Amino acid sequence: MFLAPSLGVPALPATAKDARQDCVDAHLRTQRERRTGQLRAARDDASSCGTAACPPLIAGDCADWKRELDAILPSVVLEARTPDGREAVDVRVTMDGKPLLERLDGAAHDVDPGPHSFRFELGGKATVVQTVVLREGEQRRRIRADFAAAPSPPPRAPEPATRPIPTLTYVLAGAGVAALGGFIGLGLYGNARKSDLETCGPTKSRPSTCSRDDVDATRRVYILADVSLGISVVALGAALAVYLARPAASRQVAFTF
């Protein structure tokens, strides 16, 4: 039976084979992750396959890639200010919904390029969200969250002053309407009497047969109608003037004893 040891080729230990395969896998992952923009993961894999434990060709590629990734991998420095302007430390930060820091440390943190949402939480209550776009090669970008003081309630709008309608306005308006009604009624009555007088008025064939009393009474009706109209105009005008000049009602505070 032909066996490998008879050739004099030493067999690699299982651990050495596993390490070699790990280097090959990390080498492949580094290329794939770099193409998809996962630069942090690509740098980690490049670090693992760029050591002397890997075959020289693989180690050389990975070492070169790591240097390139170190140069283009973005990083951020996070900071926050309290409402009174002091620097905050006990601030929890998540990035894209995943935990990033439990408290601020002032260190630069590597981040993949692209848009990211940083959520700062102060005391578990106040939150500030900063959305930024990081570019390749943009390192130590400062991102600060300013926790503003709690907004004070808006000032209460002053209540509009009420202006009640004076009683005199109603009295004058009522008098004006009544006088206007009198003008209309007297006018109609006067017109009716005038029509009656036309039947007894003078003609070419006879003199007027109307009595003096009827003529004077009709004239008085028209005079009263004119007086009623004048009273109506004055009363309604006075009602309007009183209404426009009415003062604002003073607010009275009730005291309870």
Per residue in 164-201, pLDDT (tens digit) is: 888 888 888 888 888 888 888 887 887 887 777 677 76
Question: 113-126, pLDDT tens digit by residue?
Answer: 999 999 999 987 78
CA dist 245 and 162 (Å) reads 13
More confident residue, 245 or 5: 245
Question: 45-54, pLDDT tens digit by residue?
Answer: 999 998 888 9
Neighbours of 209 (CB within 10 A): 10
Neighbours of 80 (CB within 10 A): 23
Question: 13-46, pLDDT tens digit by residue?
Answer: 557 778 899 999 999 999 999 999 999 999 999 9
Average pLDDT over residues 92-104: 95
Give the pLDDT confidence score for residue 155 in this predicted structure: 75
Which sign does the torsion angle of CA 176, 177, 178, 179 carry?
positive
CA dist 69 and 44 (Å) reads 10
Q: What is the mean pLDDT of the chain?
A: 83
Class (C level, CATH) for 75-146? mainly beta
Is the Cβ–Cβ distance between 244 and 172 less than 8 Å? Answer: no
- The H-assigned helical ranges of 14-166 are 14-35, 39-49, 56-72
Neighbours of 201 (CB within 10 A): 14
Instruction: Report domain extents, the chain.
Output: 12-72, 75-146, 167-201+210-244
Question: 134-172, pLDDT tens digit by residue?
Answer: 999 999 999 999 998 655 667 777 766 677 888 888 888
Residue 105 structure tokens: 């440390």
Whether the predicted model's global pTM rises above the 0.75 cut:
no
CB-count burial class (<10 Å; 0-12, 13-18, 19+) for 95? middle
Is the Cβ–Cβ distance between 72 and 39 less than 8 Å? Answer: yes
CA dist 166 and 164 (Å) reads 6
**Residues above pLDDT 90, as percent of the chain:** 44
